[in-house]
C-alpha cells in the first residue's frame, strides 16, 4: 500500500526526502498510529504542536475514574444529552450524533471486535454481537485492560478536556456540530467546556491554476457550481456585445409592436388580442432559441478556454468537493517541500474579533 501511495506522488526535488520520511515512519515494525505520530511530529513539531495516542496507558490511567463515572451514570447522561438534542431539533437544527436509547457512550474491545455498549437488565449488552455482560464483568475488564474501553464521539471531548484541561478547541464544521450537543454534558461531568473556535480553511491555488482564474475573472465560489452552468455563463458572457444589443432591440421592438397591434385589432374584434399575444410568445421563443444557438457557437469557438476552466475546477473542486477535503497534504509537500507548511503558517492570523468561516 505504501509503495502504491509513493508511486502516486509527483516527482520533484523534494519527493525523495518525503518518501524517506514516510518509509521511516511506516516501516514493517511500526504500527499505523505510531507512524502517523512520528510523521506529524516531524512535520509540525516546529510550530509548537505535539501529538498523543488516546490508547496510551498514561492517558487511560488519567481517564479511568471518569470512565467509571460514565458507566455508573450512563442513564442520567443519556437524559442530559437527549434534552440538549431535543432543544436543538426544536430550534430547527440537525444532530451530528443521534442519541441511542439505552446507549452508553463507550465502546468495548472484545472477541467480536470494537462494539458499542448498551444498558441491559442484566448489566450491559454489546452491539452488534448482542453479548450480555454484567456490570462487574465490564468493570473488571476495564481494570485489567484499560485500552479495551474507549469513548464514542460524544464522550471523547469530555475525556480530552479531563485529561488535558483545555481553554479553546479548534474544530472543523463537523466537530462544531458535535460540540453544540455537549454543553450540558460537560456540566453534568463538572468539566468546563472549552471555547470552540473554527479552524482555518484554505484553498491552495497553484500558480498555473491562479492564472486561469485571473484570465477568465473566475472566483473559487464560481467553481463550486456544476461545470455546465459555468460553461453556459461563460458562453453567454462571451457573446459579442453587438449581438446582445441587436437581440435586445429586436425583443423590445416585437414587444412594442405587438402591444400596438393588440390595441388596433381589439377595436375591430377583441378576440384577436389572443392571436397577437401568441405571435409575441412565438417570436420570443424563436429569439431564445437563437440565443442558445449563438451561445453554443461561442462554446465551440471557446473550447480551449473552457477546457482550461474545467481543469481548474477539477483541481480546486474534485468531484464537487473542496480540494483540501480530497487532496492530502503529501501532494503539496512533494511538489513544494516543507516550505509549503511554513507558507501556510505565515498566512494564518488569529483575530479574536473575527473568527474564520467555519463552514468553508
Give tens-digit pLDDT for 98-135.
Answer: 999 999 999 999 889 999 999 999 999 999 999 999 98
Interval 166-183: pLDDT, tens: 999 999 888 999 999 999
Q: Are 115 and 126 contacting, i.e. CB atoms less than 8 angstroms apart?
A: yes
Q: Which of 22-31, 56-65, 293-302 has the highest mean pLDDT?
A: 56-65
Judged by DSSP in three states, 216 sits in coil
Question: Quick check: 68 and 139 in contact, CB under 8 A?
Answer: yes
60, 226, 300, 336 from 231: Cα distances, Å: 55, 9, 11, 32
The span from the CA of 215 to the CA of 205, in Å, is: 14
Q: Residue 358: what pLDDT?
A: 47
| pLDDT range class, residue 295, cuts 50, 70, 90 | confident
- Enter the pTM of the model: 0.74
Instruction: Say what the pLDDT of residue 357 is.
Output: 64
Inter-residue contact 323 to 203 (CB < 8 Å): yes
Cα 42 to its chain centre, rounded Å, is 26
C-alpha cell at 238: 462571451
| Per-residue pLDDT band at 306 (split at 50, 70, 90) | confident
Give the span between the Cα atoms of 273 and 37, in whole angstroms: 79
Q: Please, are residues 171 and 179 in contact by the beta-carbon 8 Å criterion?
A: yes
List Cβ neighbours of 239 (8 Å cut-off, separation of 6 or more).
291, 294, 295, 298
- Written as nine digits, the cell of 201 is 480553511
Tell me the mean pLDDT in the region 52-57: 88
Given a cut of 50, whether residue 359 has pLDDT beyond it is: no
Measured in whole angstroms, the distance separating CA 269 from the mean position of its chain's CA atoms is 64
Amino acid at each position: 500500500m505504501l509503495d502504491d501511495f509513493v508511486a502516486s506522488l509527483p516527482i520533484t526535488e523534494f519527493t525523495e526526502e518525503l518518501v524517506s520520511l514516510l518509509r521511516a515512519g511506516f516501516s514493517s515494525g511500526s504500527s499505523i498510529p505510531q507512524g502517523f505520530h512520528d510523521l506529524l511530529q516531524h512535520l509540525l513539531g516546529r510550530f509548537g504542536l505535539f501529538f498523543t495516542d488516546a490508547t496510551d496507558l498514561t492517558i487511560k490511567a488519567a481517564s479511568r475514574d471518569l470512565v467509571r463515572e460514565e458507566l455508573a451514570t450512563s442513564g442520567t447522561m443519556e437524559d442530559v444529552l437527549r434534552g440538549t438534542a431535543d432543544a436543538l431539533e426544536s430550534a430547527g437544527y440537525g444532530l451530528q450524533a443521534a442519541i441511542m436509547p439505552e446507549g452508553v457512550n463507550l465502546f468495548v474491545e472484545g472477541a467480536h471486535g470494537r462494539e458499542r455498549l448498551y444498558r441491559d437488565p442484566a448489566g450491559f449488552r454489546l452491539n452488534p454481537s448482542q453479548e450480555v455482560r454484567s456490570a462487574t464483568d465490564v468493570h473488571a475488564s476495564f481494570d485489567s485492560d484499560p485500552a479495551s474501553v474507549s469513548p464514542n464521539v460524544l464522550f471523547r471531548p469530555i475525556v480530552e478536556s479531563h485529561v488535558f484541561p483545555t481553554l479553546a478547541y479548534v474544530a472543523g464544521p463537523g466537530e462544531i456540530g458535535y460540540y453544540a450537543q455537549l454543553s450540558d454534558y460537560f456540566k453534568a461531568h463538572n468539566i468546563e467546556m472549552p471555547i470552540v473556535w473554527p479552524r482555518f480553511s484554505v484553498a491552495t491555488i497553484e500558480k498555473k491554476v491562479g492564472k486561469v482564474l485571473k484570465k477568465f475573472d473566475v472566483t473559487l465560489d464560481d467553481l463550486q457550481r456544476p461545470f455546465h452552468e459555468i460553461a453556459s455563463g461563460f458562453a453567454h458572457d462571451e457573446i459579442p456585445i453587438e449581438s446582445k444589443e441587436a437581440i435586445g432591440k429586436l425583443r423590445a421592438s416585437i414587444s412594442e409592436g405587438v402591444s400596438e397591434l393588440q390595441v388596433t385589432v381589439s377595436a375591430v374584434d377583441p378576440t384577436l388580442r389572443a392571436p397577437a399575444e401568441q405571435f409575441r410568445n412565438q417570436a420570443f421563443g424563436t429569439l431564445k432559441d437563437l440565443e442558445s444557438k449563438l451561445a453554443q457557437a461561442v462554446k465551440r469557438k471557446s473550447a480551449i478556454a473552457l477546457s482550461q476552466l474545467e481543469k481548474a475546477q477539477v483541481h480546486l473542486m474534485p468531484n464537487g468537493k473542496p480540494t483540501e477535503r480530497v487532496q492530502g497534504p503529501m501532494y503539496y509537500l512533494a511538489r513544494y517541500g516543507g516550505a509549503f507548511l511554513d507558507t501556510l503558517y505565515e498566512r494564518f492570523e488569529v483575530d479574536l474579533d473575527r473568527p474564520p468561516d467555519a463552514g468553508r
